Amino acid sequence: MHRALQIPEIVSLVSRCAGEDSLAALARTCRAFCEPALDLLWEEQDMLRNLLHCMPDGLWQCSNDEENEAEDENDEDDDEVLSLLRPIVPTDWDRVLFYSQRVKSFSFDMDADLRYHFSPTSVLDILRMSFPGPVLFPNLRRLEWSSISRPGTMHHIRLFLAPRLQELQLHTLHSPAELSLLPTIATQCPGLMEVDIDASPSLMKSVQNLYTFVIGLDQLRSLSVPRIDSSVLEHICRLPTLTSLNLTNHIPVTLPAIASDDLLFPTLHTLSMRVRSPHEILPIISLLIRAPLLGLKIDVPMWKDTAISFAALCKALGAHCTRAHSTLQSLSLRNPGVRLSGNVDPTLVVQNFHLRPLFLFTELTEVSLYPHFGFDLDDSMIDELARAWHRVKTLVLGQSRKVASGQASGSRITLAGLLSFAEHCPHLSFLELSFNASVVPESLTRKPPKIRVQQSSLTSLHVQISPCHDHQATAAFLSGAFPKLRNLRAETIASNDRVLAHSLIKKWKAVEELLPLLGKVRTEERIWAWDQNSQQEMLE
């Protein structure tokens, strides 16, 4: 045997480069690779079926036995229910114990086993009574338990709570009895670092056990829970390890007693909140002064407030998230509204000055803003935005205003305003906003100075409900400013004027069809101009 194969690190690296079939062959034919190959083969499991196959033949009997085989031949949806043919003796567990210690990640999803017409619930009770150890997988690091499709299996989870468990996902808690498990989990698995728990809305009034569970964890790196109170907030904001926080239902409006000089959320990189009202968000934003945020996502799906509240949210972010001014890379503020028809009260629409506090975040590369009643911006604000977010790669400015009085909703952003993106955002590849393409500028120059601008990163443009009159001139302008632009999509308009809606979609489709040809012509022109300049330099 080559001396390199006597080095465990090399054997492990080679094993990780092999496919599943190759690992199985290595485990059977080479002693040097046997243990590493078996470890990798069993490292991640998503069903109990594989483990039961390690037990002796003739131990289990399926409900679909030979006498029912003909009857069940045409019934592919029946689940096999396993039952014991004889008592389990200690030697029956030898192979199970040999392999179960290698499992590091287990996903319990009944649908995975049911794809093979095998119901694990018929086995779990037997395993709980007869397994010779406290947990089935003693070296388990990650556990995902899904009971969304078939609730009532959560009581079996104690068989899988390994003491060194680091990652736990529970989807979904359905009853108070299942909530009662949480404090026990915190005691048995004190080293949990990543926790993702979802609970039925009917349990939201009795989640004290959830609070106790979270407060009992001191090494959290990632937390996703439907609800917290002020005591939980006080605990997690002081954790030196927390990097990701996802709150999906309710945030306490009352803040805990915290000194102004305390270092809160010192390592928080990602924050996602889905709440009922922006007023729930403002208190927690005030705690983010020193948080080095990289990503921030706020969804308020049921809120139908005015632009003033959206402005208050933007102002709070700019005022309190001071450290994130130089770190935040992804920002999403979404409150998508209903499809509107008719005129919209101007006080409900986000205006130019409402966005300015967000321009303090100068490192943004992904921005998605979707207020309920959309925007009313102009070219000057687009220029200011492009200068502030010069690193942006993806930009979405959602627009909910639709068709009013037989005319496409007007936008004060013009085609000329898009040149600001060409001039100041060299990395922008996806853009979504509504603008007015009725008037096509005669040139691609910016004034002052009169310099032609061109940007070669933009490939996709979503024009929403932008009006367009001359599709050929519009295509020529867009191709001149963004020569790599190929994908262009207009939004289907919910309007009583279906003729206008169809005409608008058809025109933008015609623009998209012209872009590849115009792009090819411009490429040929650049090559020709370069050749001409090269020849002129040689003559000189």
pLDDT at 78 over 60: no
Residue type, 419: L
pTM value?
Answer: 0.85
Q: Residue 88: what are its φ and ψ, rounded to 5°?
A: -80, 130
Alpha carbon of 320 to those of 92, 141, 291, 293, 356: distances in Å?
62, 37, 10, 12, 15
Q: What is the mean pLDDT of the chain?
A: 83
440-454: pLDDT as tens digits: 998 777 666 667 788
Q: How far apart are CA 11 and CA 38, in angstroms?
A: 12
The answer to whether residues 132 and 90 touch, using CB atoms and an 8 Å cutoff, is yes
Confidence class of residue 93 from pLDDT cuts 50, 70 and 90?
very high
Confidence class of residue 419 from pLDDT cuts 50, 70 and 90?
very high
pLDDT of amino acid 65: 44
- If one compares 348 and 462, the residue with the highest pLDDT of the two is 462
pLDDT of amino acid 401: 45
204-249: pLDDT as tens digits: 878 899 999 999 999 999 999 998 888 899 999 999 999 999 998 7
- If one compares 51 and 330, the residue with the highest pLDDT of the two is 330
pLDDT of amino acid 187: 92
Say if residue 307 is exposed, middle or buried (CB neighbours under 10 Å; 0-12, 13-18, 19+): buried
pLDDT of amino acid 359: 97
| Residue pointed to by tokens 């045997």 | 1
The answer to whether residues 199 and 228 touch, using CB atoms and an 8 Å cutoff, is no
CA dihedral (195, 200, 202, 206) in degrees, to 10, reads -20
For every residue of 22-54, DSSP letters joined together read HHHHHHHH-HHHHHHHHHHHHSEE--SHHHHTT
105-127: pLDDT as tens digits: 999 876 555 444 456 667 888 88
Residue type, 474: T
DSSP code at position 436: B
293-345: pLDDT as tens digits: 999 999 887 666 667 788 888 999 999 999 999 999 999 998 765 444 455 56
pLDDT of amino acid 277: 76
Q: How far apart are CA 4 and CA 53, in angstroms?
A: 35
pLDDT at 94 over 70: yes
> In a 3-state reduction of DSSP, which class is residue 332?
strand
Across 511-525, average pLDDT: 87
Q: How far apart are CA 43 and CA 64, in angstroms?
A: 31
Across 165-169, average pLDDT: 97
User: Which percentage of the chain shows pLDDT scores above 90?
Assistant: 46
pLDDT of amino acid 420: 95
Q: Based on C-alpha coordinates, what's the Rg of the chain?
A: 30
Across 273-284, average pLDDT: 82
